[in-house]
Amino acid sequence: MTGVGEILLPLHLPELPCVMVNPRVPVATKDVFAALGLRNGELLVGVTDVIQAAAWPDKGASIADWVEELKTVANDLEAPAMRVQPAIGEVLSALRASEGAVLARMSGSGATCFALFSDAGDAERAAQKVRADHPQWWVHAGTLS
């Protein structure tokens, strides 16, 4: 997705082992955007952001290639969402501490977060540990592609 979300382009993702976690707490999108602090009609992106937008890896690129590129971009809603619902920060900390996690981020405006792994076995073990440590959270190991 580019621009302000109006342009969709195909991606050629490899199979990305992941763990998704939702702390089962409500997070209203309107509250997250309010916490972002933009004035009505204000954007976080400008012409230079579009010109310097990430160039996604080509078809056949490795998980490592994708992770390196994803590390160069962020979810601008992550910090305000954590202010609205601190449990999101706890989820991200648990995911980032998971053995084998190569990247952890919040999805959309929250509260679901995910971690990417190089290996499906690491993802499954991480999910089991997060589930055991936080039985009240929804936890799922799977594959994004």
Whether the ω angle into residue 111 lies within 30 degrees of 0, i.e. cis, is: yes
Strand partners, 43: none
113-117 β-sheet, strand order: 101-106, 113-117, 16-22, 138-144
Tell me the torsion sign for CA atoms 29, 133, 99, 59. negative
In angstroms, rounded to a whole number, what is the distance separating the alpha carbons of residues 87 and 144? Answer: 24
- For tokens 């009240």, name the residue: 136
Rounded to 10 deg, the angle between the 120-133 and 87-96 helix axes is 140
Tens of pLDDT, residue by residue, the chain (145 residues)? 666 678 887 888 899 999 999 999 999 999 998 898 877 665 554 444 444 556 788 889 999 999 999 898 888 899 999 999 999 999 999 999 999 999 999 999 999 999 999 999 999 999 999 999 999 999 999 999 8
